[in-house]
A and B are shown apart, each in its own frame.
Chain A
Amino acid sequence: MGESLHGVKGKRVVFITVGTTCFDALVKGVDSQEVKDELLRRGYTNLLIQMGRGSYLPTKSTGDDGSLAVDYFTFSSSIAEHLKSASFVISHAGSGSIFETMRLDKPLIVVVNEDPMDNHQSELAEEFVERKHLYCARPPTLHRSLLFHTLLEMPHRWPSS
């Protein structure tokens, strides 16, 4: 009975992307026990992390023991397939990642990287939060953000070109 949750039919994937950047704070935040527990509690089965140039390596897990299955990769030529098969997406605030996700109508939580010197990514995220296209979160409070956001509720759709 428990296995059907992890069978192909029951697979609910959460996809994390940092684009071409290094964003260890997000990857670490997502790989934390609180976040993984919260995701499992909400019925998600798989966590897939695209970690880009980061140096922090998440802990892989097959999920056979009923825990969250965790996998990661650095880059791929296209993340479209991963986005399509995800239930929701957590992304860095890069415009490419944001638009690609919104065009596929996937619920999106954006996490702004507070490290780089000239952080120009927050403006776009803030604008879209105001227009209700996506949600914003910060790495330290990611698990709490998951509690507050009704992720199944779809924000205003982005007009697809």
Chain B
Amino acid sequence: MEKNISCSFSDLSSNLGISCFIAFITIILVRVIYVIYRTGKPLSKRSPQALSTLIVLGSGGHTAEMINLLLVLQKDRFTPRFFIAAATDNMSIQKARVLESSWADSSGVKGISAEFMQIYRSREVGQSYITSVWTTLVAMVHALWLMIKIRPQVVLCNGPGTCFPLCVIAFIFKVIGIRWSSIFYVESIARVKRLSLSGLLLYKLRIADQFFVQWPQLHRKYPRAHYVGCLM
């Protein structure tokens, strides 16, 4: 008799465990579908005056293009600004500092309100794909740490590998409900016929709220993207 009771109790608890697990997975799935559905739609709440913005800088041309984009950014709307560049990339941070200084000078503000951070790279140019697995994991943990600190309302990026972990984490934040980070992705002007890997993933997984391409060939291939012409 007791044996039966203990058997049925353990059955009950394992059933309960399984049910909880299934319920949890279902909630997550529903939430993910809801997030994907809401991605790209205007925010329902009246948008606040200023949106904290994360700007992802890649090496070389990515930074040059991003600086070019920022020149037409509404500075008062997208503030405070956080710049992230790869750990081995000092030139990009320097260029961002110069830009922010010139803005501060022209508006008569003392000191820069922007913050500059560096993140471990998922993969260096030429690094083997095998060792990249470990470095990508390290990069993701570091990205998570930085994103928790910043919790930006807007993420602006244009394709370097550094942006992918940050965008994925922004998406996870949306699912969990930590913060709705609107992701604006502008594919690099260097991409004429094919999307970059970051771009392709963000497009297919519908992670980006707004996805921009600069060449008509890409617009034909990826019709959900917005074609904005050459921004350089």
Contacts and interface: CB of A to CB of B under 8 A. Distances in A.
A21 to B, nearest CB: 7
Q: What secondary structure prevails in chain A residues at the interface with B?
A: loop
B189 A124 contact: yes
A2 interface: no
Given A20-B60, A77-B94, A127-B215, A95 B189 contact: yes
B189 A116 contact: no
B151 interface: no
Contacts of A21: 60
Given A20-B91, A116-B125, A120-B196, A94 B191 contact: no
Contact of A95 (B91, B94, B188, B197): B188
Contacts of B188: 95
A45 to B, nearest CB: 30
Contacts of A123: 190-194
Contacts of B190: 94-95, 120-121, 123-124
B192 A96 contact: no
Contacts of B194: 120, 123
B193 A100 contact: no
A53 to B, nearest CB: 10
Contacts of A97: 61
B59 A120 contact: no
B227 to A, nearest CB: 15
Interface residues of A, number: 21
B59 A20 contact: yes
B232 interface: yes
A96 B69 CA distance: 13
B100 interface: no
B96 to A, nearest CB: 13
Contacts of B64: 95-96, 99-100
Contacts of B232: 95, 99, 161
Contacts of B59: 20
Which of B61, B190, B192, B215 counts the most A-chain CB atoms under 10 A from its CB? Answer: B61
Given A19-B60, A124-B189, A96 B91 contact: no
A75 B65 CA distance: 19
Interface in A78-137: 94-97, 99-100, 116-118, 120-121, 123-124, 126-127
Nearest first, the 6 A-B pairs at minimum CB distance are: A96-B64, A95-B61, A96-B61, A123-B192, A20-B60, A95-B190
Interface of B: 59-61, 63-65, 91, 94, 125-126, 188-194, 196-197, 215, 232
Given A94-B61, A96-B61, A124-B189, 19 more contacts: A19-B60, A19-B61, A20-B60, A20-B91, A77-B94, A95-B61, A95-B189, A95-B190, A96-B63, A99-B64, A99-B189, A116-B126, A117-B126, A118-B197, A120-B191, A120-B196, A121-B190, A123-B193, A123-B194
14 contacts: A20-B59, A20-B60, A94-B61, A95-B64, A96-B60, A96-B61, A96-B63, A99-B64, A117-B126, A120-B196, A123-B190, A123-B192, A126-B192, A161-B232
